[in-house]
Structure 1
């Protein structure tokens, strides 16, 4: 129990400044003040510091509302902090804490056994759906908080819940956040000693972060909840009754009332751990299915890797062979090419020498060719000079000849020109005479045409004046007509505009009609959508009901499978126990058999002489068949009798011949090994199959021998072979040879009685028993091995059955999860469908409003159409009047235009006559002017022709003289031609001789060039072969470095090549190996290592799967333990509180009766609680029908009943007495005063009677607007 000492508030709601409230150790403390001053903020501060997460319970919209928001004169606070100081006064609930520690330990063990499947899965895997629910996320947040003491606020919790719910409903395929929730034990020791002070703090920053502190150290919310769990201050916190909550206790749902009893019963801690255990159980089962899938997948991978590893091994073997062959091939080719390059170098030296000699010969011959060519070139130049001179002389002769011909032609042309000029002068004289006569005629005609043109111009002026007057008249009429037409156009435009308005209005009316039709269709569509969504909701409700029934059926099947799993586990445990027992017994028998066989191999149960004999049989040179006991098969009841009768002879060594017996005897005498009995039995096989045991009185039959061995024994032991075996020698009356009792006593001849027990360690002691035990143990081991195999097979079958049942359980759980998710999706669809119904209703209403508005607009449009029609008809009437006026004006205009056209025709005729006269006069004038110009031209032409005639006659004389000079030069050029011919022939002969000499020298040069070219070609061929060999060698060198990672020189030096090594066959084999290696395709060279890793991981995962199965069993056991303890505590608390409630109800009401009843439910932990009240003088009725005061009194009675059963460290009541009258307030005050001896009461009240009962008063005032202050008054 804790006692409240003081409360510190800073920046919380209206408490802007640091405020401290000190409480007395006992009694009632009252908090008073006017409305709105912040009294209830004290209650909110205590609830908040104790871990309240619901902003609505603190009268806010979000958690940040509890931070001081500021006033007109104060800035907002950045942080809200409340510190609650308490002191421990006694230790209670130790047993409960012990139980919680046991359960926490079990949950921690579950988390230790749980497997993080994400870490076990392959890092590159397909995305998986989110497998957490909103409840799990919220639980994880509230349960674990943060390691550094920070806690997520309510807004963040709601956001995470919404995100997780959306992810769950959508069944997303991308695994984004995986919440791993591990049960963490308390991070603080909560077992405070009596008198120890405890402070609980909570801070909230405007950033949304919240911090919890316990004794000044950061802690988790769950630590605070565990500290006050079961005290009424955690969870349902019935010890803090906020304003208005006293009535909610009765009006709450029956299931919500159960939380009060659970808190009082102290099982809220158990319920938290129950949810954790159920969550872990579900997670473990899911992980079991997932890890089973992983195991299956890895098994597939392992099989694939086995095939890949085999392929890799084959590839590596071929690759090694290929590398060895490559080393041989590279070394051989390297040596071969080195030899080839050396030979080619020698050949190249000879070729280079030959090329040099040929080059010297070519150079010498080239000089001879150059000299001969120069001589030929000089002769050709002389010939060219002779030919040039001859050509120049020929050209001169041609020029003179052409000049003579040209001069002759010029003389002929001049003569013709002179004749033509004379003819032209005669023609010009004739034309001059004709022009003079034509000029006289034209001058007379021009005078007559002038007079006629003047008369035509006078007539034209009169016609133009008359026509102008008529045109003015027409223009006046046209102006009048234009005015009338403008009026006509104005009326026409008005008519068209009104028609367009009418058409537009008609179009609008049609559009409104179409719109009304569309709205009617839309109304039908909206109604149809509404009906469809209603049907969809009904379908979804039916499907949800079906899914819930299916879920319930699955839950029943889960319970049945759980029972099957438990039964299968019990069966498996028994089978494993039976197998362990059978295997243990078999191993013990087997160990005993191995011990006996070891003794038999060492002959340790025989005499020392026999042991030495068998150990030295190789030295002796014999191979004994065994001893006599090896060939006997004596019944257990006759063993003592046989041992007494034969004694040490049971250890007789059996050999197949007398020679072997002699060797043994010689060895025994030589080594003084003692006496040895030797039984010679030729034809006897070594001890093997024995005759069946027989319990007979005949000694040979009792020995279990027959055939040859029986005859030998009869011969070797004649007296013993005739002996008889009896049960009791006392019954023998006749004198018989030898009679042996089964107890080992011997009677010989009826007179000699031998009896007693052999001394310990005597030879032959229990030899037959040893042999019998050896055979029996071998049979027993075989039988036990078969029994163990049967038990093992049964255990394996039972294990398979268990695995099958567990797999069915996991599959069923998967189905349950699938159905639950489907159910959530259906519920979301139902909600969406209901929203669609509402939306369809709104849509239909909007459509109806649109239809009404459309009808209204259609009526208005029709009125405007009627108005436009009337205006158009008025305009058409005015248009008719204007049209009549236009017709009259048009008739006048037509008459005036006809008169003007007549006058215009007259005017045109006169204009034509005047123009014709003027044109004729201009034509005569033009002809006259042309004649005058022609006379001038003829005069000029005559002067020009006269001058040209004179010049031609003069030129004719000059050219005649020049022609005579040219003919005399032509006659002197014949002698020069003969001299030039002789000089040309001599030059041609010299050129021919020089050319022949040059050609001969060039031919010899060509031969020597050919020889030099052949030498150079030979050198080039050798160089090419050498370069090819060098290139091949370099390629081999590079390939060697690339393929073998070593230099070719080192390889040639280190590798030895066989004499019969063939390069061609080696190249073929290398190419074959290369093709086979290429044919392998992709090779996983790490397949062998990966296979080992996969098999190791498979073994690890199999063990992890078993750990998960064990963790499921642990979780189920913890869950059963939690539920058992919770039921016991709940039933006990309910019965006690119900009894207290009846008592307090009668006391507070002064009579009447009240009680609580559990609603029927399969699980008492899920049952709701109904409260029944019957105030005095009234009939039993529903509590919701009670008055406000009666409800308050009933709720107070229930709270006090809880307090009596489980007192709380303190109780805070916020205006719970407000609905009570004076009498009931008195009863209320008396009752809390009575209970205040064990519990502190902090009462927020306005009632004077309640104030009077308080030992201390705190007044809350608001001296500054928006800021609360506390004033204390203590009564001594």
Structure 2
């Protein structure tokens, strides 16, 4: 566009700005002449868009990566959700069909029972009438019999009383005599029992002391191992802290090296700049020695400078390579951390699924335990009311025993038939509880704990191979259940196989039972039990499995917490590496900038060297006072070199320190691994010691229980022995008194026999008549009972069917939200294998439980995320296409701009050389690209040597020479690309008459191409004008414009007046 910056408008005093401008600013005139300014603006905008596009691509790449990670996780969840929905829908469909089938069976059965009930009610009415009639006759006969029997009873009572008293007295005499013998034997037995129990007590006390000694030794070993474990854990914590500190210090040292490399590059730049400055000063000094000497020295200096730049570029490339390697290694570490994070996330998801499966199984087992599944309804009712004032109930055997998981099957087999036995602590209280026994609808087994005898068995089993121990050693129980458990399992041995059991049954006798870990039982020397256990199977193993699952659940929770901590540590490491990569990219950018600058300087030097070798200029001037400045630059270079050496020394020291830190870090890692191995071994040993301590405690509890029972038995025996003597004396006196009363009772007996015989004959006649009527009555009543029983069964069945109907309808409504009666209206009975349907329902429920926690929203979230991923992928593709188009556009702009600029530059160059010689009447001038390899960015140097001068730079030209040179360049541009007009504001002010004449000739030459508006005070310039305008102020405050137009020899004058 038109403006003061255009080459067609030259302001006052600005003609020589073309020469004073920098080499880069001169390009503006040439670009405008070539018509590529608009291309340059388009290229700048395209580069800006390209940069934004690349930034958007980077951001989109990060977003796409994150979306891909989220999508992988959601795909797993959505898959589970789809399976869950599919299983749930299929399960609901099967349950609805199955429920309708059951409802159909109930309806059909109820209708059949209603019809049968009506028939049986008619039969019951007929039977009831017969029974009433016959019952009245029997009643009359019964009253007669009862009157006769009343008399008989009075005399029989007298007879029986006499006989009874006689027999009682005789029995009492015999009983008292046997009582005396029994008391004597009892006294002897008590003495023997006291002696036996005293020996047993001494033996148990000895075993108790040995166990307590073992317990104390084991406790000391446990404390030692615990202390050793704590020490190892503290040492590992300290090692971990040292490793973390070393790693941080190592990363900091590496960052410090990057800073040193940056400072080293800066010092290289400073030294290079000083060297350049010194070379320039040396070049000016050498010029005083003559043209040839100066050229040779200048060429040598530039060659040296070129070598230094090349060395500097090599250093920068080396630094760039090192920085790039560091950046690649950090990126590799970030990728590895990203992979590790992905694995940890997968591990967390897998562990959570395992935890969900364990929790599902645990909840099922707990529910079974709470519902007492496996027990009869009677036992459930008794245990449900255990706390309702029945303190004598202790529960069942399965509640008192807790087996180790590995041996639960063996304990289950050994207690088969006893696991669901009811435990009571008071036999009398149980027998007196008639209300409890009346509620029983099935038989139950009861173990009376107050009737148990102390268990004693001193058989040494250590000498027999194949015995793993007494089975009681592998169960846990409360001390109050010790006699019960020892009574049930004390003589049950755990062996490794059935062959071992059969071999040991001979030497150990039939009193022992043998059980294998698989649940096979061999007893009594000939009884073998194999296969699955009975209906109460699972009562003991279920509790063991619950404890095992609780332990597994705790371990899974700890594993999840551990993985979450690892994930958090990974995030911190990733953030730290990201910051380091950011710093490395900044350093690489700075180094690349220095590299580009260095390469630019090197290209400029190569151009200068080439130009100097072509021109071989000789400059002679009078500047000799540069030695001091040279010396100062040398000192500065020396100090900079010294600092550079110091930095390189620091760099070497830091590298050595990094190697030392790395070695220490590797050593600490090795120590850490060794310590971890030692810690694992200590934990194993600690677990073994704890198991031994647990076994000893159980043994001590058993011995204490046996010892207490033995002492109580000794006290009881001593009390019996003391009371026996008194009882013998009292018994002998009672025998004498009884014998005297027997003779009186025999006379009373004879009189009662006579009267009783007569009354019995009369009663027999009445009874025979009543029996005949009773036979008939019994027949009628049997018939009535059968009918009534059938009626009762039918009513009970109808009631049960009604309850089943209501329960099924309510359950289906609550669980499936379906009105069963409404759905039954459209039901049609078909032939379906309902057993297979039940199996499929159970299988679907198992599948749903194994799925664990399900996020049903994951399906919708996956669809949304996939749409977002597709949208982002489309954006990435669009951005890549835009990037390609922008790159192609930039390449096309560069190509067209380069072609146009080359053509225009060559035209301006030729025109400049021609016009310069025309304006100066000789001499030499040229325009040179500083970097011919980069035409679009290279600066433009102007060389001008008027005739008779050997000036090296245009700054040495006089004012008139500079103006003429600028005019030559300006009109060279005009000639290459004419402008419709040109404004020249006093461009001829610095010209003498000769040069002004040449200027006028050039203007006249271009009058055919452009219209010139010239502002001047030179008469010679005014003489070539077609129209002349002048401004004058003849009256104060009033300006006048005078115009003169020259047409041949005629002159026309116009005057205009305007108020200023």
Q: TM-score, normalised by structure 2?
A: 0.30
> Over alpha carbons, which structure has the higher Rg?
1
